[in-house]
Amino acid sequence: MQGSQRAFTRASTFVHLLSRFRSFEERLGLAVFTLALLFAMTHPLWAHEFKAGDIEIVHPWSQATPEGAKVAAGYLTLKNHGNSTDRLVSATGDVAGMTQVHEMSVDANGIMTMKQVADGLEIPAGGEVTLKPGSFHIMFMDLKQPVKEGQPFKGTLTFEKAGTVEIEYSVEAMGGGHDDHGG
Amino acid sequence: MTTTAANARQARQLGSIIALACLALVLLGIIGMVVFPKLVQRNVSPVGGPFTLTTQTGARLSDTDLRGKPFAIVFGFTRCPEVCPTTLWETTEALKMLGSDAAKLRVLFVSVDPTRDTPEFMARYLQSFDKHITGLTGTETEITSIGREYRIYYKKVPTDDGDYTMDHTATMFLMDADGQFEGTIAYGEEMATRVQKLRRLIGAAT
């Protein structure tokens, strides 16, 4: 009996609080403000996108590197909305002296192999290719500066047909995204 | 006629002696395996063996220095974009979860690219990871030797700019306090399994 009374008091206090914003405009303003706040809070979690012709580049990201590291890896998804196959032929990164596209894999014997994608990475018409841990990656070599968490860096991607586009890699903590890898 | 019979008897006797001897050998073997299980394990131990390498502080460290404490050993190189930092980071996290027990264990990170991974560079690189991780490098010959002992695969892969990268075994080997093979942690193993295996390794030592 007492419990339900307390609950009633609490509810009425809340209503009382809300009733301070009496007009519709005030309440609408409050709602918009709350939504804006929520949006701002979740914004860094949202994938960012870039476009080059028919190619959509989704969420380029990298990982913080260990102290003094000379290499870093970049990951992203390439979607081809066009009617013909395109190829990612080269890439650059502000942080790197040299950038290549590599394919990495770990076999059943636990051996990691890495090879340069020689003739460009194919993105089939209407299809997509994901560069992710345990698979393809943009290999940043000769790092000029460390890659640090929360400090995005710029780079370019050059496609055979869609041309060159500037993108930005967001940088996650070391070990971030490790749940994704297939190995 | 009699000679044939005698021959046959002799042959039978010889046969039973051989059979008895075989039986005795088998029994001896079984007793041996039961009494000295470590001996059997040692003979079939798939990985591990003697080595002397240089740590990131420039000190020399050999397998005999490691006796009395179990260790985890993994091979890699610092110009490795993904597998090595991930392994070292996950190991760092696992050691964090072990808390004070982490001191009961050694973790060795051996470079398969010793010409570029100098002790100084290893020291800088390993600052980003748990302090229980020891970096090891050495001469090409020393690395070839430990590579053979641990039966790992590694190979220089040239890239088209005249640079190179390394292919290598990414599996972590778990060795007990006597330097005997205990198990492995695969690349990308679940964190819970990783911690569990390290715990078991520490437990096996006490």
Among B108, B152, B117, which residue's Cα sits nearest to residue B137?
B117
Structural domain contains residue A95: yes
Residue A87 lies in a domain: yes
Residues A62 and A96 in one domain: yes
Give CA–CA dist B73/A83, Å, rounded: 50
B132's tokens: 């229980």
Angle at B137 between CA B139 and CA A175, to 5 degrees: 145
Its ipTM equals: 0.71
Same domain, B16 and B62: no
Which chain B residue lies closest to A177 (C-alpha atoms)? B86
Q: Are residues B99 and B175 located together in one domain of the fold?
A: yes
Half-sphere exposure of residue B154, counting CA atoms within 13 Å on the CB side?
A: 28
pLDDT for the residue B27: 84
- Which stretches in chain A have pLDDT values below 50? 44, 178-183
Q: Give the count of domains, chain A.
A: 2
Per-residue model confidence (pLDDT) at position B4: 67
Average pLDDT of span B36-60: 79
d(C-alpha B137, C-alpha B109), whole Å: 9
Do A139 and A162 fall into the same domain? yes
Q: CATH number for the domain including A109?
A: 2.60.40.1890
B62 found inside a domain: yes
Report pLDDT for A39: 67
Average of per-residue pLDDT across B22-49: 71
A121 vs B27: which has the higher pLDDT? A121
Q: Residue B189's closest CA among B49, B123, B90, B55?
A: B90
- pLDDT (0 to 100) of residue B161: 80
**Residue-level pLDDT at A4:** 62
Please give the tally of structural domains in chain B: 2
- Residue B205, pLDDT > 70, answer no
The residues of A whose Cβ lies within 8 A of any Cβ of B are: 63, 65-73, 98, 100, 102, 104, 106, 109-116, 118, 133-134, 137, 139-141, 174-175, 178, 181-183
Give residue B46's pLDDT: 76
Question: What are the φ/ψ torsions at residue A99 (nearest 5 degrees)?
Answer: -135, 135
Domain hosting B114: range is 52-205
Q: Which of A69, A98, A112 is nearest residue B170 as measured by Cβ atoms?
A: A112
Report pLDDT for A133: 92
| Residue A93 bridge partners (DSSP) | A155
Q: Are residues B14 and B83 in the same domain?
A: no
Q: What is the DSSP letter of B45?
A: -
Q: Is residue B37 scored above 90 in pLDDT? A: no
pLDDT(B181) > 90: yes
What is the Cα B60 distance to its own chain's centre?
19
Query: What tokens were used for A59?
Result: 């969420």
Structural domain range at position A8: 2-45
Residue A146: count of CB within 10 angstroms of its CB: 15
